[in-house]
Amino acid sequence: MFDMKLHDIGEGMTEGEVVRILVQPGDRIQADQPVLEVQTDKVCAELPAPVGGKVVEILVQVGDVMRVGSTLIKIEEHSQEQAEERAKVQAEVQDEVQVPLETTHLSVKEDNSKHPSQLKNVKAAPYTRKMARDYGINIETLQGTGPYGRITIDDVARYASEHGKSEAFGEVATTTIAHQQKNADTTFEPTISSSMPEVIPFTGRRKQIAHKMSQSMLTIPHVTHFDRIDFTQLQELREQYHKDTQGSSTNLAGEYINQERLSVMAFIIKALAMSLDQFRIFNAKLNEEKGEISIESHVNVGIAVHTDEGLIVPVLHHAENLSIFDINEQMKQLTYRAQHNQLQASDLRGGTITISNVGPIGGMFATPIINYPEVALLAFHQLEDMPVVRNKEIVIRSMMNFSMSFDHRVADGVTAVQFTNQMKRMLENPLSLFSKLI
């Protein structure tokens, strides 16, 4: 009998909530077949069966929050021969690496250059191969511990942990994102009674968001700086660009032009990336245990997106190297995929700073909570025309308020103001920087 457990699937991962059960007792399943969906931090992930066989007992229910190491499903393997072979391999692995069988099972091949012939005919399911590719692991370097040498998800997870890839597993779990489907098992239909209050389950992504927000507030001493930006010139520039390119797919040089309207947020992200080149302290992460502030080498902007299941933050990678058109396109694609549960694992990891655009729904100011362990988060509010004083005269300008929360352990208020002033100068004088923005 094989006990399928919730393994330690990443740094800091301690529990997961069961949100969907894909099999029933008595079902015949194959190795690597998805059997459960578990909500972890940020994503809802499918968990595949490590072995094939018959589902004997399901020990969890939808809504259960299971600790790492808990048994989820009992599986009777296809044959006694397979069970004996797996037990033999597990025993050998335990002797070699001294890892308890109930935790994980893995042995790594010797130097590939010594045994080039071993890099052929790898036994692994397509799902397991994709998982290895997602984390930059050459699956041919692994020794499978499944039946008949088959490489399993445990093999990939253990290799990642031992070779410095545990952070990626902690952020996206051991699987790619499942396309969540509402069904009778997971959909909550609130009922209203004259004698009973309405009760909404505090589960799934909502509970994970609460955990992250509490962790951030309890760990980081937040300070929020408020300011406003005059977007009048940028708005005029955008309108002129859209007018000039309307009905044409190429410019005078014959180069292709993306005719989709350029979002204000695309300019903001590029100005943010450029400003971080000078104020790198806000593109960093603090490790108090090591006594280190790690300055990130790339600007990976997390974009807070509201979905029916709650807030999620896909990441736009290497913003400092992207054109304004590339940022515009990738930002809209990420937002669409987030709202339609189509994000990939790589879309959710590696963020270095986060922005939130609440302007479309209104609001003047906010005190945003930092996306731990990042150092800063900027929220941009409603863009509206209002009277302001310029050269001692009252004029109408397109103004936007914004808020910046930062970690006061890492940076001081003066630095934060200098940083936002730099962004303001770029956005309020776009012509002087337009060549850099595109």
Q: Which CATH architecture has domain 208-437?
A: 2-Layer Sandwich (3.30)
Give the residue range(s) of CATH 2.40.50.100 domains in the chain. Answer: 2-172
- Give the C-alpha separation, 7 to 16, whole Å: 10
Give the pLDDT band of residue 80 (cuts 50, 70, 90).
low
pLDDT at 217: 93
* 359-398 as b/e: b if 16+ CB within 10 A: beeeeeebebbbbbbbbbbbbbbebeeeeeeeeeeeeebb
| Mean pLDDT of the chain, nearest integer | 79
The domain made up of 2-172 has a fold known as OB fold (Dihydrolipoamide Acetyltransferase, E2P) (2.40.50)
Give the pLDDT band of residue 85 (cuts 50, 70, 90).
low
Between the alpha carbon of residue 178 and those of residues 40, 111, 303, 345, the distances in Å are: 12, 35, 20, 10
Give the residue range(s) of CATH 3.30.559.10 domains in the chain. Answer: 208-437
**Per-residue pLDDT tens digits for 298-357:** 999 999 998 887 889 999 999 999 988 899 999 999 999 998 888 887 898 899 999 999
pLDDT at 430: 86
Q: Check residue 173 and report its DSSP letter.
A: T
CB atoms within 10 A of CB 57: 12
**Candidates 78, 298, 306, 408; catalytic one:** 408
Is 306 catalytic? The answer is no
- Give the C-alpha separation, 65 to 108, whole Å: 32
**Are the C-beta atoms of 119 and 112 separated by less than 8 Å?**
yes
Q: Between 50 and 130, name the one with better pLDDT.
A: 50
pLDDT at 254: 53
